[in-house]
């Protein structure tokens, strides 16, 4: 480890996740020697705050990442495909928040609370999982370790910030138009999102699932290193700004009572148990926003299957679902001398 810290870059610095990455690097006091910020030419020249400095946003070019030791990418899969391998070849370690490399068997897909060991022998590129997967595996890991998981049925309630800043603005504008009695404009989503639910996140595939749903299936198996885990996912966009919620039903290999699950989760890394429903205490997106923990509640015995549990899992999709997870990965790389 460099005694003076690392030369760090954030690629996609002006997006919802990129700006949060900058904030998380600062919050967690990541050992930054220099920070460079990249975005498309449209954003070049903007200045973003990091600690006491203002850093200019540069246009990302082929040679931009020379000399950078750690780059956090969150600029979409095509940018990652184009610039990620180039950066690696010049000696940079890339933590990539896009879907570009997640299912590549040679590239680790990492949630620090779940599979940090997969970082060993990385080849410079590391994938950050999808937001809806991260919070689910953080909550299921301690349960899986004790009782094993046969099958997961999950339905998500995903915030518009998962789509990006433009979607946050779209929901704001639609709500403001509704209050004024004006018609709602839309450009990000194919339908009105205010006061509505869209069972549609990512593109539809030939099997009738969305990309987002298949990410939850495939990434969960890869992170748990267990292709036998059966996963059925339905992912839904809801008119919430920040915080994804998930209704998760698991069928376990061996019995585990709700009390045992609650105790395991209470001790688990990265998890906060909020489960006192008779006092109206359960996880909610408005409380998750701004937090790095995955909140778990409504833990109860599934009455419909042997060894079943149901639960409600909520996390800040921009933080733990993206930016915080990426910075945590970088912290492990630094801590374990893997950079």
- Taking the complex as a whole, the smallest distance from the CB of residue 311 to its own copies amounts, in Å, to 9
Q: Closer to its own copies by CB, 83 or 209: give it.
A: 209
Q: Which of 92, 131, 191, 197 is catalytic?
A: 131
Contacts with its own copies by CB under 8 A lie at: 151-153, 155, 157, 175-176, 178-179, 190-192, 195-200, 204, 207-210, 217, 230-232, 234, 236, 238-241, 245, 247, 249, 258, 277-278, 280, 282-286, 297-305, 308, 310, 312
- Taking the complex as a whole, the smallest distance from the CB of residue 154 to its own copies amounts, in Å, to 9
Other C-beta atoms closer than 10 Å to the C-beta of 331 total 14
- Number of residues written out for the chain: 339
131 is catalytic: yes
275/311 Cα distance (integer angstroms): 10
Q: Closer to its own copies by CB, 82 or 257: give it.
A: 257
- Taking the complex as a whole, the smallest distance from the CB of residue 102 to its own copies amounts, in Å, to 18
Q: Closer to its own copies by CB, 88 or 305: give it.
A: 305
268/141 Cα distance (integer angstroms): 9
- Taking the complex as a whole, the smallest distance from the CB of residue 24 to its own copies amounts, in Å, to 23
287 is catalytic: no
User: What are the Cα distances from residue 93, in Å, to 29, 34, 96, 274?
Assistant: 19, 15, 10, 37
DSSP letter at 321 equals I
305/324 Cα distance (integer angstroms): 35
- Taking the complex as a whole, the smallest distance from the CB of residue 114 to its own copies amounts, in Å, to 20
- Unique residue bearing structure tokens 């109860």: 300
Q: Closer to its own copies by CB, 224 or 282: give it.
A: 282
- Unique residue bearing structure tokens 């990455």: 21
DSSP letter at 21 equals H
Other C-beta atoms closer than 10 Å to the C-beta of 15 total 23
Residue of 171, 166, 156 lying closest to 244 (CA atoms): 156
With helix as H, strand as E and coil as C, how does 82-116 read?
HHHHHHHHCCCEEEECCCCCCCCCCCCECCCCCCH
Q: Closer to its own copies by CB, 45 or 277: give it.
A: 277
Q: Closer to its own copies by CB, 134 or 231: give it.
A: 231
Q: Do residues 54 and 46 make contact, with C-beta atoms less than 8 angstroms apart?
A: no
- Taking the complex as a whole, the smallest distance from the CB of residue 160 to its own copies amounts, in Å, to 9
198/236 Cα distance (integer angstroms): 6
Indicate which residues carry an active-site annotation: 131, 244
């Amino acid at each position: 480890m460099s005694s003076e810290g690392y030369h760090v870059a954030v690629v996609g610095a002006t997006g919802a996740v990129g700006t949060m990455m900058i904030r998380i690097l600062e919050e967690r006091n990541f050992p930054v020697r220099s920070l460079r910020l990249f975005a498309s030419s449209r954003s070049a020249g903007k200045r973003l705050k990091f600690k006491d400095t203002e850093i200019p946003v540069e246009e990302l070019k082929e040679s931009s990442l020379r000399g950078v030791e750690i780059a956090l990418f969150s600029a979409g899969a095509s940018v990652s495909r184009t610039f990620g391998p180039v950066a690696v070849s010049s000696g940079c370690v890339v933590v990539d928040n896009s879907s570009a490399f997640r299912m590549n068997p040679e590239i680790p897909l990492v949630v620090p609370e779940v599979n940090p060991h997969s970082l060993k022998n990385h080849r410079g590129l590391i994938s950050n999982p999808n937001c809806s997967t991260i919070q689910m595996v953080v909550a299921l890991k301690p349960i899986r370790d004790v009782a094993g998981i046969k099958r997961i049925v999950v339905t998500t309630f995903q915030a518009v910030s998962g789509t990006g800043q433009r979607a946050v603005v779209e929901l704001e504008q639609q709500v403001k138009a509704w209050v004024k009695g004006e018609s709602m404009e839309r450009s990000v989503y194919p339908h009105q999102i205010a006061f509505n639910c869209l069972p549609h996140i990512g593109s539809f595939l030939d099997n009738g699932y969305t990309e987002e749903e298949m990410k939850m299936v495939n990434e969960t198996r890869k992170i748990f290193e267990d292709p036998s885990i059966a996963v059925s996912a339905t992912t839904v966009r809801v008119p919430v700004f920040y915080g994804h919620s998930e209704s998760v039903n698991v069928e376990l290999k061996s019995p585990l009572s709700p009390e045992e699950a609650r105790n395991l989760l209470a001790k688990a890394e990265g998890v906060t148990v909020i489960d006192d429903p008779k006092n109206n205490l359960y996880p909610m997106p408005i409380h998750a926003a701004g937090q790095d923990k995955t909140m778990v509640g409504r833990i109860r015995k599934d009455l419909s299957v042997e060894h079943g549990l149901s639960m409600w899992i909520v996390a800040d999709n921009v933080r733990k679902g993206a930016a915080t997870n990426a910075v945590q990965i970088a912290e492990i790389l630094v801590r374990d001398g893997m950079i």
